[in-house]
């Protein structure tokens, strides 16, 4: 039975056009997104907040799959995040974000993500801590 408190996929992923392409390994997810012109800043490249949002969604879902593998149903809330932008994300490019839980326990998980473009360039790296809340 679906949890009525959740919308899947959430509006943020629908807005960004994100698609999860791999979540087979607990604590690891891979997502793709087309860098849409709606997300361009005045210089004509994707505004960093959209790339950061992609990393956040990917890391958050990795944290949920990490907890699920331990038999827990949780909400994962981002409590801090750091993003380093390493190259411009070109409008029209296909971005891929791989996120993985590096360390985790009963209350928190620490995750990292790498966003690459369709040329294989690393666009951003991010890390975040997620707080688990039971979905009882």
d(CA 67, CA 4) in angstroms, rounded, equals 20
Complete edge-to-edge strand list for the sheet that includes strand 19-22: 19-22, 28-34, 94-104, 108-116, 122-134, 74-85
State the pLDDT at residue 5: 59
State the pLDDT at residue 113: 98
State the pLDDT at residue 111: 98
Provide Rg for the chain, Cα atoms: 15
d(CA 74, CA 132) in angstroms, rounded, equals 6
Supply the pTM of this predicted model.
0.91
> 35 by DSSP, 3-state: which?
coil
State the pLDDT at residue 16: 78
State the pLDDT at residue 13: 74
Residues 6+ apart with CB under 8 A from 4: none
Residues 6+ apart with CB under 8 A from 92: 34, 35, 37
Q: Which fold does the domain 11-134 belong to in CATH?
A: Thiol Ester Dehydrase; Chain A (3.10.129)
pLDDT profile of the chain (136 residues), mean per 10 = 59 78 95 93 92 96 95 94 97 97 96 98 98 91
Of 113, 99, 18, the C-alpha closest to 65 is 99
């Amino acid at each position: 039975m679906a949890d009525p408190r959740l919308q899947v996929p959430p509006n943020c992923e629908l807005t960004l056009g994100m698609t999860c392409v791999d979540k087979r390994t607990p604590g690891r997810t891979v997502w793709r997104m087309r860098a849409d012109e709606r997300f361009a800043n005045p210089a004509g490249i994707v505004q960093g907040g959209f790339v950061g949002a992609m990393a956040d969604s990917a890391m958050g879902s990795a944290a949920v799959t990490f907890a699920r593998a331990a038999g827990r149903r949780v909400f994962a809330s981002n409590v801090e995040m750091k993003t380093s932008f390493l190259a411009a994300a070109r409008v029209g490019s296909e971005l891929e974000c791989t996120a993985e839980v590096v360390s985790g326990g009963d209350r928190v998980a620490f995750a990292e993500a790498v966003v690459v473009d369709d040329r294989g360039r690393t666009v951003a790296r991010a890390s975040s801590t997620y707080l688990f809340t039971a979905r009882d």
